[in-house]
Structure 1
Amino acid sequence: MVVIGSAGVLAPGKWRWLRALGWLVLLCVAIVIVFNLVAKAMLLLLVWAGGLQVTQTSPAPAAYRLVAAIAGSIALVATYWAAVRLGERRTVPELDLRRAPSDLLLGLGVGAALLTTVIGVQWSFGWVIIEPRTVDRVALALRDSIRSGVLEELVLRLVIFRMLWRAFGIWPAIAGAALLFGALHLANPDSSPFAAACLIAGEGIGIGLYLITGRIWSAIGMHAAWNFTQGWIFGAAVSGITEIAGGPLALRPAPGVPAVLSGGGFGPEASLAALIVSLLASGALLFWAWRNGAFVALDA
């Protein structure tokens, strides 16, 4: 069950909802700044230690960028833990490391299975073409999958969703976090209102996993596996980004098929198949969480 927090900055009293929103902003800013500072510092250190000359046309090796993203991810998790301990005056069970391995495996399986189902539906109806290719890289795919999984899920679940829940209740929190996630992707290449709607439909998956386990790890695993499966294994665009392809397959929209069916340049997650699969998965996980009583948070 999720611990929502009721001490320190979130203690009962006047303007609690406003204090929760202020804490939301402060946590988001701190987490993003720490991630970027630590990742960039680690990358500079690796480049310096390797004696490399990095330019715009000759970037740092992909392995260096992967290590930098891992360092930044560890730093942002530590920042959240320290901030909650100090600001909310409580333990942080949502980051329980003892359950992290099993939770991550659960999330990885869910994310990979759901995305494979989406692409399987598209391929079976002839909306996309899948061809084999030579595997030539993986580090960038791992970097982007880890970065998006840790950064986006921690910010969206543990900060935005949890603080909106504290301020306004669980249903406004679910709606607010989902709408924000979709809106943030409208600026991506080849995005559209339909693509945003597909992403909004899938937000219940990460929220449901967080509610069911009371921890963030399964949501992180799901998000990372979704992106890795889509971008590296199937070689498709991920939210309009194409740089992480390099795996055994190459997916492209079938000629003449509307983007609403193929996903177009945004990727399979912006397709009718993704919309349906995401809605079904979100509904199932949220219903499971509700039946288990997870819609009632612990105030510890």
Structure 2
Amino acid sequence: MATRVPYRPLPIDQTDVVYDHGPDSVRREGVPAGETVELRIDDSHVYPGTSRTVWVHVPAGYDPAEPATLMVFNDGWWYLDPEGDIRGAIVLDNLVHAGEIPVTIGVFVDPGIFADREDPDTRKNRNIEYDAFDDRYVGFLLDEVMPLVTARWAVSDDPDRWGICGGSSGGNGAFTAAWQRPDRFRRVVAFLSSFAQMPGGNPYPALLPTVPRKALRVFLQAGHRDLNWHEPQANWFAENLRTAAALAETGHDVRLVLGDGGHSANHGGVLLPDALRWVWSGAVDEGGAA
């Protein structure tokens, strides 16, 4: 049966566009709120000198006898904030309660900061963690964050039930984490990814055709008026298109959604419920096809 999509006129001005959130992004009557637990990491071995907060959101439907699915969210509080654009915990509660995704524990990880530095430009470790093309960040998640989670909650060991989500630099950080460790993370949600500012440039369009296909399911969102959208270099919009095209051309399970507006979390936040439904719909076989 065909899926019918209501007609919506396209805006003429593609720059200043704000999307309305749907019903899955607001608290719903009759949906029990899950529990959110705050944790601290003040002695990182992977990123010495940094500290950060991690929030673990456990939906009301969680049963310790049934290991839960896992979704890590980069930029922790920004993606957890119930008044923000993403509203991750609210979305998880609504979708789990409706039975539209598995019972999913959300792990919202703030980027590290150097608490002893006053200069805001050197205080944040965010770009070092998210933009790098290496396995340090995913190693940090696996070695320093996940033991805190699995010590208290039952989480599935199946990599097809582990996902990671982020936006901007957090988007390419999410993709790189799964790329480096598909034995752990196989579901990716990436909004407005900053592939364009990875040190040395975006490696993925050239790299993807040269390596075996990986068992990843990747949801990408890009904006027509993202940073440098009409420039020949450092073009956020174009680099997302190139990455999506390379994933498609190499047979990966990818979905790309284009929207209007600039470098804003708004559209990604509106899409989060559908992105989670899609990444958890069915399993990905070892070849990467659904």
Larger RCO (CA under 8 A, 6+ residues apart)? 1
Task: Judging by fraction of residues, say which structure has more strand.
Answer: 2
| TM-score > 0.5 by shorter chain | no
Rg larger for: 1
TM-score (structure 1 length as normaliser): 0.26
TM-score (structure 2 length as normaliser): 0.27
Task: Judging by fraction of residues, say which structure has more helix.
Answer: 1
